Amino acid sequence: MSTTVMNWFRNKWNITSEKRYNILLQQPLYTEAIYLSYETVDEVVKHINSDELIDRFIFDFYNYLYSEHSNSYNLFEYSPYYVHIALTIIKENFNRFCNAVKNSSFGEEKFKNELFYLYFHPTNKNRDSTALVKLYAAFGVLTIDLFDMLKWMKDHWDDDLWSYLRHIKKVSDRDVIEKLFELLDLMAYDTKSTHFSYF
């Protein structure tokens, strides 16, 4: 269906790549994310192949993250499924996505802050939690914020999440290491408690 709509626009008007980008983003607006077709997402990702459009996507995605966490009324608004599109871009070209964020006007730290804020915001849907952690982990630094996000993941761990965690090559500071050891001690204690409760 999306190809038909795009063909109709091409036949009627000579559309620019930026207009096409906007049309592609708007197409799935009224589709539940779980029904969002891979074809639609792939079409958007394939179209975002110039530096200009990846920069535009990163800018739009950042504004989406900011507006979502700033929304204190918990109102639902239809918006392009930026999180899923971003994960697809990362899978296809990890460095391109991260470099575009680093070179943006807001930078990597502000972008990661918005991922963190949205993760703990009441409007965040459970299915987005894992995706937000994956996006944060893609930058390769274990921070207190990422640690806190991982701590609340509970039973949402999967092989795909581990593939994103493998990007982590740095630790932001000593506090993160200490918190990690505290968590490991707690997990070891919980395991022992569970083991002895069976006797």
pLDDT at 195 over 50: no
- For residues 170 and 96, give the distance between their C-alpha atoms in angstroms, rounded to a whole number: 20
Q: What is the pLDDT of residues 137-153, one digit of tens each?
A: 999 999 999 988 888 87
Domain extents in the chain: 2-123
- Please tell me whether the overall predicted TM-score, pTM, comes out greater than 0.95 for this model: no
Of 31-40, 60-69, 128-137, minimum mean pLDDT range: 31-40
Q: Are 135 and 86 in contact (CB under 8 A)?
A: yes
pLDDT at 97 over 70: yes
Q: Are 33 and 84 in contact (CB under 8 A)?
A: yes
Task: Name the more confident of 78 and 41.
Answer: 41
